Amino acid sequence: MTLHVWWDEPADGPCNMAADELLAAEAFDRGTICMRIYGWQPVTVSLGGFQRGVEARAEQSIAGVAIVRRPSGGGAIVHGSDLTYAAAVPKTHPWGGRPQLLYDALHETMRQSLGAFGVEAALWRPAETVVAPAAGDRFFCFDRRSSGDLVVGGPGAADDLGHKVMGSAQRRLAATVLQHGSLLVRRNLDVAPAASHPGLDDLIGGGFPAAAVRPLVTAWIAAVAGALGTEVVEESGRFQDEQLVREKAREFASERWTWRR
């Protein structure tokens, strides 16, 4: 059992969602964990699988920004200054059972990796004394908290909530689990302040340089492999044939899908 990783060039929302759906099929075919690391061009807001379209249209802070709907759950994310990943595992994989397994595994390994870069982060857990923002009543993912979210302290952070710097959500398919996640590297200045959440570079004393992101992710992937006791296979080239991705992307670009709710 190996960990296969693709580093993809930035793409638009529909192509990224299409590639991730193909990644889930790849994980099933290979019978092991597959990951894709990627960016977005242009800046895009991804909506959670069942977020209301009317709320997205009413959110002035993202007016004019490209929108795509993810197949996974959770809240809206502004992509462009984050590091996005997709991880897919067969349901028979050790992390393919309860949703929290894969969520915690990838966030805990990122916590460890951030620690090696001098960033102290924690996996947020709800305490009885803390009333977390309810799951469905905040539009943006980074305004929500759920168990296992990766948080750091910093100016403006409520003591019990911290600043969320990494969140993930899943689509549980018939035979595989597809998890999307986003590590916020820095504030996105292409959107209004209400949609622009502080990232590592804004929260860490001395900042978090862009040049450190790839080494961080490389360390994270090694930590994921270490947790599984397996080896990393870094695949060369882009994940999947571009034409195949573009054909599949039509569904994710359709009005029917984007405004399904």
The residues pairing with 11 across neighbouring beta strands, listed in sequence order, are 40
Is residue 103 part of the contact set for other proteins (CB under 8 A)?
Answer: yes
- CA-to-CA distance for 103 and 8, rounded, in angstroms? 22
User: CB 39: neighbour CB atoms within 10 A?
Assistant: 16
> Which of these segments, 33-41, 92-100, 225-233, 235-243, binds other proteins (CB under 8 A)?
92-100
Q: By the 8 A CB rule, do 67 and 258 touch?
A: yes
Comparing CA positions, the residue from 178, 194, 192, 176 lying closest to residue 74 is: 178
141 annotated active-site: yes
One-letter amino acid identity for 102? L
CB contact set of 138 (below 8 Å; sequence gap of 6+): 75, 144
Residue corresponding to tokens 């080896």: 231
For position 172 contacting other proteins by CB under 8 A, the verdict is yes
Question: Of these, 2, 25, 30, 49, which contacts other proteins (CB under 8 A)?
Answer: 49
Q: Is 25 in the site for other proteins (CB under 8 A)?
A: no
Closest approach, Cβ 221 to other proteins, in A, equals 21
Tokens 């193909």 identify what position? 22
Among 13, 14, 80, 96, binds other proteins (CB under 8 A): 96
Distance in Å, CB of 55 to other proteins, minimum: 13
Other beta carbons within 10 Å of 98: 9
The answer to whether residue 60 forms part of the interface with other proteins (CB under 8 A) is no
- The H or E element that residue 233 is part of is strand 231-234
The residue assigned the tokens 């403006």 is 156
Q: Which of 50, 116, 234, 242 binds other proteins (CB under 8 A)?
A: 50
Give me the count of residues in the chain: 261
Q: Is 71 in the site for other proteins (CB under 8 A)?
A: yes
141, 200, 204, 225: the catalytic one is: 141
Window of 56-64, 163-171, 188-196, 217-225 that interacts with other proteins by CB under 8 A: 163-171
Candidates 97-105, 108-116, 188-196, 216-224: pick the segment binding other proteins (CB under 8 A).
97-105
Question: Rounded to the nearest whole angstrom, what is the least distance from the CB of residue 206 to other proteins in the complex?
Answer: 33
- 123 strand-pairing partners: 150
The residues assigned a catalytic role are 141
Interface residues with other proteins (CB under 8 A) are: 48-50, 71-74, 93-101, 103, 135-136, 146, 168-174, 177
